[in-house]
Chains A and B, each alone.
Chain A
């Protein structure tokens, strides 16, 4: 069964600091996704990672995928308050898609 684990589940960090969110999954995957969700809002797609070694960057966020380790990371560089949100990873295998529990990120001044 495909399982997805994210950690940490809660992350409080100061502005300007760097941190990484981890997403581990249990079986081989076709695609890995990262999403952002602001409180009371819908989901926003951040990244789609398709192959081993894939790296994508958008602003202060960078996502990478290691399919051999079954691990994806979302790295936050020099955090700013606007990045406060909940971040979800999701893994898609043969049209069976499972989400992580989410990481609630709070960036404090």
Chain B
């Protein structure tokens, strides 16, 4: 079946604008993860969704970041008032077992550039 998909693949925006990044997990996967990768900070965990449960948001880097997962499937990561330090590749992954005990399947990522 189809893997994890993310859109857009590339996004260039101006400082101060809001952006939305989308992740479509593998059908039936209950767990969904967001990460980002940047030259300055390396790989960072952002947020984890388990089914329809409320996520732990403590990994989000600032209150400009928010994420939701509708119907236990598609997830959107929103960054408000983007800053240059938000430039990174944002990766989404899903897995079939909650709690991180199973293989995570990663999407191709969204490369965000904030000018």
Contacts of B45 in A (CB 8 A): 90, 96-99
Instruction: Say whether A50 faces chain B, with CB atoms less than 8 Å apart.
Output: yes
Cross-chain contact B106 with A31 (CB below 8 angstroms): no
Contacts of A52 in B (CB 8 A): none
Binary A-proximity of B57-92 (CB < 8 A = 1, otherwise 0): 011000000000000000000000000000000010
| Residues of B92-112 whose CB lies within 8 A of A | 93, 100-109
Cross-chain contact A43 with B93 (CB below 8 angstroms): yes
Contacts of A50 in B (CB 8 A): 101
* Residue picked from B56, B100, B101, most chain A C-beta under 10 Å: B100
Known: A96-B58, A99-B44. A45 touches B101 (CB 8 A): no
Instruction: Say whether A5 faces chain B, with CB atoms less than 8 Å apart.
Output: no
Q: What separation, in Å, do the CA atoms of A99 and B43 have in the docked complex?
A: 6
25 contacts between A and B (CB under 8 A): A30-B100, A42-B91, A42-B106, A42-B107, A43-B43, A43-B91, A43-B93, A43-B104, A45-B93, A45-B103, A45-B105, A45-B106, A48-B100, A48-B101, A48-B103, A88-B43, A90-B45, A92-B100, A95-B58, A96-B45, A96-B58, A97-B45, A97-B48, A98-B45, A99-B44
Interface residues on B, range: 20 to 34
Point out residues on A near B: beta carbons under 8 Å: 30-31, 33, 41-45, 48, 50, 88, 90, 92, 95-99, 101-102
Contacts of A95 in B (CB 8 A): 48, 56, 58-59
Q: What separation, in Å, do the CA atoms of A97 and B91 have in the docked complex?
A: 14
Contacts of A92 in B (CB 8 A): 100
Contacts of A44 in B (CB 8 A): 106
Cross-chain contact B42 with A101 (CB below 8 angstroms): yes
Q: What separation, in Å, do the CA atoms of A33 and B103 have in the docked complex?
A: 9
> Smallest CB–CB gap between B97 and chain A, Å?
10
Contacts of A31 in B (CB 8 A): 100-101
Which 8 interchain pairs have the tightest Cβ spacing?
Answer: A97-B45, A99-B43, A42-B106, A43-B106, A45-B104, A95-B56, A45-B103, A31-B100
